[in-house]
């Protein structure tokens, strides 16, 4: 498709940024996002479950050692940040890291590969990277947002939580301002989580699409460095999403 020029260039870009959708109005489903993320999520989590089920306390194989490295990295982050009983925070952090990582990694596939294959089967739109879909990133960040409230109320009970909302940081006399600040602070968390991931991945994908518009003999000169750099972005964004989730939940667990 890289030969196309002029009008077809914007068509090409637009085509690549259109989801495969089904439904009307709000009740529209981005099928590509749902299918890709579910398949990859089950794949990576299933792989981990398979390795974990066979895990031996003796000398681990290479696959088990790799799984253990990731697991221990996540566990160390949770233990360093989260004081007290971490409960479900560890599994949550591991799920976030793995899922975001594999979904981001879809970015490294050539931008035309999946659309071409599926095009041959009559599917004409396919956004391969679910993390470039704000629906996905907001779904994750809002889930984390609800978990923040769940942990707040679990740790402080409803009364303690309301007391904190109304009195911190300026004291009881400034209750309306405290409430306002708290609202801003809490809303900023899911919005920044979702937009950070979405923005990074969307921009990265956009650059890949633009590189794909170059003549084929020049693509490698920009495509290769960008892809190599993107390995860092992919891992970093997965790590940031995970670590911020842990931090938010540990803040929810402790009083201000």
Partner 1 sequence: MNINATIIGQAITFAILIWFTMKFVWPPLVAALEERARKIADGLAAAERGKQDLVLAERRSEEALNEAKAKAAEIIALSEKRRSEIIEEARLEAKAEADRVIAQSKAEVEQEVMRAKESLRDRVADLAVAGAEKILRREINAQAHSELLASIRTEL
Q: Is 196 a catalytic residue?
A: yes
Q: Minimum distance between the CB of residue 121 and partner 1, rounded to whole angstroms?
A: 22
Q: Is 19 a catalytic residue?
A: no
Report d(CA 165, CA 177) in Å as an integer. Answer: 10
Report d(CA 105, CA 178) in Å as an integer. Answer: 41
Which of residues 12, 71, 101, 208 is near partner 1 by CB under 8 A? 71
Q: Judged by CB under 8 A, how many residues of this single chain contact partner 1?
A: 46
Report d(CA 148, CA 187) in Å as an integer. Answer: 11
Residue 210 contacts residue 218 (beta carbons within 8 Å)? no
Cis before 197? omega within 30 = no
Which residues does 68 contact at the CB level (< 8 Å), separation at least 6?
Answer: 55, 60
- Residue 23 contacts partner 1 per CB under 8 A: yes
- Residue 77 contacts partner 1 per CB under 8 A: no
Q: Secondary structure of the chain: what % helix, strand, coil (to 5)?
A: 75, 5, 20
- Residue 26 contacts partner 1 per CB under 8 A: yes
Q: Minimum distance between the CB of residue 211 and partner 1, rounded to whole angstroms?
A: 23
Report d(CA 34, CA 4) in Å as an integer. Answer: 30
Which of residues 2, 29, 73, 155 is near partner 1 by CB under 8 A? 29
Which of residues 12, 16, 30, 252 is near partner 1 by CB under 8 A? 30
- Residue 73 contacts partner 1 per CB under 8 A: no
Residues engaged in binding partner 1 (CB under 8 A): 21, 23, 25-30, 33-34, 37-38, 41-42, 45, 48-49, 52-53, 55-58, 67-68, 71-72, 75, 88, 90-92, 94-95, 98-99, 130, 133-136, 138-140, 142-143
């Amino acid at each position: 498709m890289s030969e196309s020029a002029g009008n077809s260039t914007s068509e090409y870009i637009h085509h690549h940024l259109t989801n495969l959708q089904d439904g009307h109005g709000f009740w529209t489903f981005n099928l590509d996002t749902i299918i890709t993320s579910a398949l990859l999520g089950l794949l990576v989590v299933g792989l981990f479950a398979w390795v974990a089920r066979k895990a031996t306390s003796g000398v681990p194989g290479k696959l088990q050692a790799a799984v253990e490295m990731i697991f221990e990295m996540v566990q160390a982050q949770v233990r360093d940040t989260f004081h007290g009983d971490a409960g479900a925070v560890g599994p949550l952090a591991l799920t976030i890291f793995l899922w975001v990582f594999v979904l981001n990694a879809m970015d490294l596939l050539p931008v035309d590969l999946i659309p071409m294959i599926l095009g041959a089967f009559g599917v004409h739109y396919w956004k391969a990277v679910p993390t470039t879909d704000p629906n996905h990133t907001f779904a994750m960040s809002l889930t984390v947002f609800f978990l923040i409230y769940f942990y707040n109320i679990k740790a402080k009970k409803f009364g303690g939580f309301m007391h904190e909302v109304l009195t911190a940081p300026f004291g009881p006399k400034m209750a309306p301002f405290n409430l306002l600040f708290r609202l801003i602070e809490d809303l900023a968390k899911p919005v920044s989580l979702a937009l950070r991931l979405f923005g990074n991945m969307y921009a990265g994908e956009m650059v890949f699409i633009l590189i794909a518009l170059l003549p084929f003999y020049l693509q490698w000169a920009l495509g290769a460095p960008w892809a190599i750099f993107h390995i860092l972005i992919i891992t970093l964004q997965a790590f940031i999403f995970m670590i911020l989730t842990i931090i938010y939940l540990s803040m929810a667990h402790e009083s201000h």
